Amino acid sequence: MVYKKDLRKQAIYEDNMGFWFEFRGKYVPYKNQLWSGSDTEDSHLRSEKTHPEKFRYWKDRSINYNYNNLGFRSDFNFKPGMKGDLYLGCSFTEGIGLPLECTWPSLLSTELGTRGFNLGTGGYSIDTCFRYLVAAHNFGLKFKRVFLLVPPPNRYEQIIKDNSMFKPFLNERHQEDIIFHTMPNMMNHYWSDNTILSGKNELIVGYLIGSESNALINSYKTTLAIEAFTKKVGAKLYYRSFAELNKHPMRKAMKEGVSKTNTVPARDGHYSSIFHESLKNLFMKELFKKPIL
């Protein structure tokens, strides 16, 4: 690893932090499924009343979620020595709610004629993006370009492997977690019954994700860390942020997209294929410094 000297200066060694360098996704390897993450059969059935146009579009269609040997959504397995472009992000990069071919990493890879390693993982943070970047290099993937869609703010990774003060607040399912992922409005399932009854979870959640300012600064400084590491390993970073794109004038069309010609609406609450096509065009414009027609 080209960065071992830097790690030693911080007293970080593989014998005590090896789990952090493990290259594996969130999902069960070699699994093929029809539903994933926020894209559930129940939510799809409920959309018949809440989003009837979208329900009709997906009524007789299906989505294939194929997770490869490392638990990432991909139609091929990742092996050391493979060459390609690296894609980092959350569910908007993984493509929850859409076929794989509609996601911006697939669209951009097709446009560039290159292999794409999609490391997007639903619900995870900019912290995860940095960890996956380091792990991908350590695993042996060969890349000269890294494309990043910075996930929404107020998401973090907390290493709790050795945090005996925090673990008693967690329920049995999460007691053995090595890394704790925070995400607004989706954290109550973490806590033990005693924690919820005492109300202490509000204090913990407030401390972890209560500040938007802290979240934005964390996104910025971690993006800088990703850029620095990318440069250190001889690659170049291209990035956009979800916070930026979420203010796009076409936000409503990107989210729904049902009435647009040749547009695929996301089956769950994510953005439609318009979002992914627009993001692909933004990266192409940045790559080649010319307008995309």
- As to burial, measured by CB atoms within 10 angstroms (0-12 exposed, 13-18 middle, 19+ buried), residue 87 is buried
pLDDT at 292: 44
Check whether 13 has a pLDDT greater than 90. no
> In the chain, where does DSSP find H-type helix?
4-9, 14-17, 41-50, 52-58, 91-94, 104-112, 126-139, 172-175, 193-198, 200-209, 212-232, 242-245, 251-255, 273-288
* Interval 168-207: pLDDT, tens: 888 888 888 899 888 887 777 788 777 776 777 778 888 8
pLDDT at 104: 97
E strand or H helix that includes residue 116: strand 116-118
* Interval 146-170: pLDDT, tens: 999 999 988 999 999 889 888 888 8
What residues form DSSP beta bridges with 236? 145
* Interval 41-99: pLDDT, tens: 999 999 999 999 999 999 999 999 999 999 999 999 999 999 999 999 999 999 999 99
pLDDT at 1: 60
pTM for the structure as a whole: 0.91
Q: What is the DSSP string of 225-270?
A: HHHHHHHHTT-EEEEEEHHHHTT-TTHHHHH--TTSTT-PPPSSSS
* Interval 210-268: pLDDT, tens: 888 999 999 999 999 999 999 999 999 999 998 787 776 655 555 555 555 578 999 99
Q: Nearest Cα to 239, choosing from 229, 250, 251, 249?
A: 229
pLDDT at 255: 57
Q: What is the mean pLDDT of the chain?
A: 88
Binned at pLDDT 50, 70 and 90, residue 2 comes out as: low
Type of residue found at 108: L
Whole-angstrom distance, CA of residue 240 vs CA of residue 101: 20
